[in-house]
Amino acid sequence: MEVRLAESKDIEQLIKMRWDNTIEFDENKKDESYDEFAEECRRFLEDAIRNNQWFIWVADDQGTLASHIYIELVHKVPRPGRITRPFAYMTNVYTIPEYRNAGVGSRVLKNVNTWVKDKKYEFIIVWPSDEAVNYYKKNDYVHCTEPLEYFPS
């Protein structure tokens, strides 16, 4: 199993994984149009990969994507007296069912953690579901207080 950054050749599998992830946790979405979703998602992924806008880490088992983690860098406004480094926003963490509970997702997460450390990014932030909190904790993540949110009406 190879852990690597996603490439254009992975787009169709990434689209299917995003769809499956959504349907698994929200069955009400299964009546949505896959074709419309796939078209929008394909555009997003093509742009994300081409422009290094997102860093999509995958576990590749001989051509089958078993797991993925999406990272977007958030650049901060420079501040006098210190080097300003971006932080990483992590989302869309998913392992397909047949690879779960075998350490595949943790292997991808450890790779992401090493990459963030090597690049000297400030930190990683993730908003896990209640079910995923232990996954992150066993991989050295700590629970923090909730941020403030604003929802425009």
pLDDT one-digit tens code per residue, 71-125:
999 999 998 998 899 999 999 999 999 999 999 999 999 999 999 999 999 999 9
User: What percentage of residues in the chain have a pLDDT greater than 70?
Assistant: 100
pTM of this prediction exceeds 0.75: yes
CA distance 88 to 84: 13
Domain spanning 2-137 has what CATH number? 3.40.630.30
Q: Is 117 left (phi over 0), alpha (psi -120 to 50) or beta?
A: alpha
Q: Identify the DSSP state of 59.
A: E
Cα-based angle 140, 144, 149 (whole degrees, multiple of 5): 135
CA distance 128 to 89: 12
> How far lies 72's CA from each of 1, 20, 64, 112, in Å?
24, 21, 23, 12
Structure token pair of residue 9: 């050749």
Please, are residues 85 and 120 in contact by the beta-carbon 8 Å criterion? Answer: yes
- Which residues on neighbouring strands pair with residue 95, listed in sequence order? 67
Q: How much is the pLDDT for 113?
A: 96
